[in-house]
Amino acid sequence: MTSTDSAQTPAKAPAKDPWDLPDVSGYVVGVLGGTGPQGKGLAYRLARAGQKVIIGSRAAERARAAAEELGHGVEGADNAETARRSDIVIVAVPWDGHGDTLKALREELAGKLVVDCVNPLGFDKKGAYAIRPEEGSAAEQAAALLPDSRVTAAFHHLSAVLLQDPEVERIDTDVMVLGEERADVETVQALAGRVPGMRGIFAGRLRNAHQVESLVANLISVNRRYKAHAGLRITDV
């Protein structure tokens, strides 16, 4: 290579800092299933951190009552209104209603960033066990049902007890975030980082969501044995 050739070779752009995350403070976050333990806890933590939050339920009255209980400016509405008014929509509904809920909201969720945190689990006398949906995972089912939405997966491993406890100042845990588009994943990582003590960590594409969802069955076993509210930390990151 001549010196002329070398001079014409474009400089390689520096690698993007994986911790250079966007400002998400201005987004409205909707929580479908916001009257359940996990959804209510997530709504409380995000609102307490200064995020504008709307919680959704099949019954608007129930959602409004829960919102009033949470305070911090949280509003309540039915699921369809919650989806329409939100920029980011967290899906925290029970697994047995997951598919039907999303089918009914396909139009309202079009163009939205959807964060699925549903864990397909079964329970028997031996404890919790993972269920594998036909699509592979709850997140992949959401992606199949919502072709016009940007689906990610996150917030699976959080203790609803800790999330809802006003005496707990920090939630010291990592949130594994999965998705197809880097910008969407980073937005969810940044949203997780709004909660003191919490980090959002990229954990792969949606095809890897099943094992993340399934790990909750193991955490339930840990919690029962040790009377704990276990979470996850990713080391060396």
Per-residue pLDDT tens digits for 76-115:
999 999 999 999 999 999 999 999 999 999 999 999 999 9
Looking at residue 87, what is its pLDDT? 97
Cα(1)–Cα(10) distance, rounded to whole angstroms? Answer: 14
Phi-psi region of 127 (alpha: psi -120 to 50; beta: other; left: phi over 0): left
pLDDT digits (tens, 9 = 90+) for 16-28: 888 999 999 999 9
Average pLDDT over residues 122-137: 95
Which percentage of the chain shows pLDDT scores above 90?
Answer: 92
Q: Are 30 and 90 in contact (CB under 8 A)?
A: yes
pLDDT band per the 50, 70, 90 thresholds, residue 4: low
Looking at residue 199, what is its pLDDT? 97
Evaluated on CA atoms 189, 218, 90, 166, the torsion sign reads negative
Beta bridge partners of 179: 152
Cα(172)–Cα(203) distance, rounded to whole angstroms? Answer: 18
Beta bridge partners of 127: 124
Looking at residue 15, what is its pLDDT? 82
Average pLDDT over residues 2-24: 75
Least reliable range by pLDDT among 13-17, 113-117, 191-195, 216-220:
13-17
What does the block give as tokens for 23? 């400002």
Which percentage of the chain shows pLDDT scores above 70?
Answer: 96
> Rounded mean pLDDT of the chain?
94
pLDDT band per the 50, 70, 90 thresholds, residue 131: very high
pLDDT digits (tens, 9 = 90+) for 54-77: 999 999 999 999 999 999 999 999
Average pLDDT over residues 149-166: 96
Average pLDDT over residues 217-237: 95
Q: CA 112: distance to chain centroid?
A: 13
DSSP 171: -
pLDDT digits (tens, 9 = 90+) for 181-214: 999 999 999 999 999 999 999 999 999 999 999 9
Q: Is the pLDDT of residue 3 over 70?
A: no
Looking at residue 2, what is its pLDDT? 53
Q: Is the pLDDT of residue 235 over 80?
A: yes
pLDDT band per the 50, 70, 90 thresholds, residue 10: low
Looking at residue 14, what is its pLDDT? 77
Looking at residue 9, what is its pLDDT? 64
Our CA angle for 202, 200, 98, nearest 5°, is 85
